[in-house]
Amino acid sequence: MRVVRFALFAVLGLTLVAPLTAQAPVTVTDLSRLNTTAAEISKLNDSLRKTDPTLATEVDKALADAKDEIVYLNVKLRKDGAVTRDEYSALRDRLETLRIKAQGQKVSAAPVPDDKAAPTMVSVPVGTEFDIKLQTSLNSGITKVEQRFEGTTILDYAQGRDIVVPAGSVVRGFVSSVRSAGKIDRKGSLTLSFDEIRIGNRGLRLRASITQALDPKIKDDATRIGAGAVVGAIIGGIIGGGKGAMLGVVIGGGGTIAATEGSDVDLPAGTILRIRLDQPLDVPIER
């Protein structure tokens, strides 16, 4: 009886553990999807070239490298019989970043019904700053170039009576450069680039740079003091006065975050980032 119970527990244990440890293998179909994505990006880039030839050239170069990676993974799959899920995911994320770049100023939105007036475009000027809460942990010791991340805006941004960018809007970006702390130069660094903001069901192109980073505990402390505009005033005052910059981190030109204490840059989920618009953000508002 004991043997039967042991066997039953062993089977149940394997049944429970297997879904947690098993990782679906990368297939020829998966790699075919990457080729399809690359072809879509190429078509988008043909249109982008008419309005932004400089960015289109940048996308072309990066896309060529990505296509080489796709070929490499196909060869590896045929030769070794396996491609790791991490290799596939990293390349898929790089292609997604290129897709967003190739879309240029294109707005992804649900169609406007005929019985409604077309939305009014409101322009958020260069230099406008937003405070966002990082949803993804980033560390210069393990983070990879082109790794994507997300954050959400903390406060509403309004012009007059219009709430142009509501709190909770998703801001997306990618790691454009990374350097881990080494034995000689022991200061790690990260450069974060922002390329998209989602407002409701619309995806808008975003060009912004990080200007400050704040310990996530600051927002918790502020929330205990007050809510809404009070929290915003406290956060804004701390960041604006330069008193609350995250310990051991300095923000350099181009949004590069560098460690100052001989370690890797560590940005846990919840870190508050202040970003500054490098290009106007045109937002459609329905009135």
User: What pLDDT, in 10s, does the model give residues 138-176?
Assistant: 998 898 888 899 999 999 999 988 999 999 999 999 888
CB neighbour class for 238 (10 Å; exposed up to 12, middle 13-18, buried from 19): buried
**Residue 148 contacts residue 96 (beta carbons within 8 Å):** yes
Which CATH number, 2.40.128.260, 3.40.50.920, 3.30.70.20, 2.40.50.1020, labels domain 120-285?
A: 2.40.128.260
Is the pLDDT assigned to residue 25 strictly greater than 50?
yes
Categorize the per-residue pLDDT at 254 as very low, low, confident or very high, splitting at 50, 70 and 90. confident
Looking at residue 134, what is its pLDDT? 92
pTM: 0.58
Give the span between the Cα atoms of 176 and 193, in whole angstroms. Answer: 6
* Residue partners of 82: CB distance under 8 A and separation at least 6: 25, 26, 76
Q: Region 77-93: what's the mean pLDDT?
A: 84
Listed by start position, the domains of the chain span: 2-102, 120-285
pLDDT digits (tens, 9 = 90+) for 171-219: 999 888 898 887 666 788 888 989 899 998 888 989 998 888 887 665 5
Looking at residue 246, what is its pLDDT? 54
